[in-house]
Amino acid sequence: MRVAIAGAGLAGLACAKYLTDAGHTPIVLESRDVLGGLVAAWKDEEGDWYETGLHAFFGAYPNMLQLLKELGIEDRLQWKQHTLIFNQPEKPGVLSRFDVPDIPAPFNVIMSIIRNNDMLTWEQKVRFAIGLTPAIVRGQKYVEDMDKYSLLEWLRRQGIGERVSSDVFIAASKALTFIDPDKVSATIILTALNKFLQERYGSKIAFLDGSPTERLCQPIVDYIEARGGEVHLKKPLKEILLNPDGSVQSFLIRGLDGAPDQTVTADAYVSAMSVDVMKVLMPHSWRSDPFFQKLDGLEGVPVINLHLWFDRKLTDIDQLLFSRSDLLSVYADMSVTCKEYADPDRSMLELVLAPAKDWIDKSDQEIIDATMVEIKKLFPQHFEGDHPTQLRKYKVVKTPRSVYTASPGRQAYRPEQVTPVANFFLAGSYTMQQYLGSMEGAVLSGKLAAEAIGERATALDPSTSAKVLAVS
């Protein structure tokens, strides 16, 4: 069966990969000239990589790890020491660590919390443990029910003090969803916590050894193409054309650089585009269907990814760090953490600016000036004396609509991969799957879409093969 997929982010590529495994022929159509969507990366004029996002992989990413294994590239993940490291804003330059010992879960995480005395007092630890008990004991059903509360509301209801919420949970919700605890659904953070508590290496972090475009997406494309599938860049979906019965007749692809539009016909069709684009391209006659109406409840959240190249080394810490700054979320010195970006003499900090709502429209210079104020608090020793560290160059990558905004009540709006239209499916980390808007969620959604297509394969007409036709 031939399947046309719009979008070559991780969801679209994973969907295509699993379709080829099942003997189908995917045709992936990507609007941009780069693979990866939210993991896309580019080289600057000096050959240095810059990315849409600083990406951390977790031990609790079974579908991503399985995919890498199936591609034979699992050695491209550089696993770091099992520890979570936080800056302490009240003590510039000082770090606080949650070192997770190599003992079974959940005792490893509990031990890391017990041993950390910088961020939590004993009273806070006890309150934290009691407050978290229902999420652990009553499982995912309880966690899903908590979607009606923001994380902050849930923490208050559980009697967990403000200090715990400000110290640990601001950092966690900014890192996982790019929004603050008063705006994020409790379900999201509790789901992540549960995964970390259930799996021995769940909270262990890895970095890819190079750019996601080359080191992760390209191998998926090679795999697909070696098995008869196709992946095309610069093929933006312009319109979903319908049959009289409302099923998809073809994808209309916009012709670029003076080329005519094209139609791509197939046996099944997948949108692996972001929810914001899907809403715009949704055929008019589908808009009254409650399934598709749900998408109106979802919207991408703004985020900014920053790259700062310095004239010397600022740190040798080989790990993701939680800045706990109002402006910034997580960061890492990529000259240390990532093999292909390595530089023994000079640092390249990659930092996520979140929440980015008030910054997305500001100039790059304004953003960098504000960031430098924060950097001086994170590394004060390097900005004192006669020869302070100099910023050599920077790159700001703004994404006005990234992953779906995980505010309270959103779970009910996340659609299944199977739609009411017999030959049309959805993939994307915003669709319903047990992980939040993440690389793992994207891969799982693509896999689920491929499975659903396989199940419907017999009901669909396998005699039609996908063809690219010029519109007359």
**Least Cβ distance, residue 417 to ligand FAD (angstroms):** 12
- Taking the C-alpha atoms of residue 306 and residue 304, their distance in angstroms, rounded to an integer, is 6
Report the nearest approach of ligand FAD to the CB of residue 80 (Å).
13
| Contact string 413-452 vs ligand FAD (x = CB under 6 A) | ---------------xx-------xxxxxx----------
> Does 352 participate in binding ligand FAD (rule CB under 6 A)?
yes
Helices 62-71 & 10-21, crossing angle to 10 degrees? 60
Whether the ω angle into residue 181 lies within 30 degrees of 0, i.e. cis, is: no
Binding mask 40-59 for ligand FAD (x = CB under 6 A): ------------xxxxx---
Task: Please report whether residue 206 would count as binding ligand FAD according to CB under 6 A.
Answer: no
Measured from the CB atom, the residue of 237 and 450 that comes closer to ligand FAD is 237
The verdict on 236 binding ligand FAD (CB under 6 A) reads yes
Distance CA 374, CA 89 (A): 10
Give the Å distances, CA to CA, from 133 to 115, 137, 197. 20, 6, 11
Find the binder of ligand FAD among 16, 19, 25, 30 (CB under 6 A).
30
CB atoms under 10 Å from CB of 182, counted, come to 14
Q: Which lies closer to ligand FAD via its Cβ, residue 143 or residue 240?
A: 240
**Residue nearer to ligand FAD on the CB measure, 149 or 404:** 404
Q: Which is nearer to ligand FAD, 155 or 351 (CB)?
A: 351
Alpha helix locations (H) across 166-263? 170-177, 186-198, 212, 218-226
Torsion, CA 350, CA 353, CA 359, CA 364, rounded to 10: -10
Residues 6+ apart with CB under 8 A from 40: 32, 34, 51, 52, 212, 213
Closer Cβ to ligand FAD, 56 or 119, answer by number: 56
Strand-pairing partners, residue 239, are 252
Residue 6 binds to ligand FAD (criterion: CB under 6 A): yes
- Give least dist CB 118 to ligand FAD, A: 24
- By CB under 6 A, residue 10 contacts ligand FAD: yes
**Residue choice 274, 319, 371, 407 for contact with ligand FAD (CB under 6 A):** 274
**Burial zone of 455 (CB within 10 Å; 0-12 exposed, 13-18 middle, 19+ buried):** exposed
Q: CA nearest 31: which of 261, 273, 219? A: 273
Q: Is residue 319 part of the contact set for ligand FAD (CB under 6 A)? A: no
Q: Does 392 bind ligand FAD (CB under 6 A)?
A: no
CB 97 within 8 A of CB 104: no
Tell me if 308 contacts ligand FAD by CB under 6 A. no
| Binding-site ranges for ligand FAD (CB under 6 A) | 6-12, 29-32, 37-39, 52-56, 236-237, 272-274, 277, 303, 305, 352, 399, 402-403, 428-429, 437-442
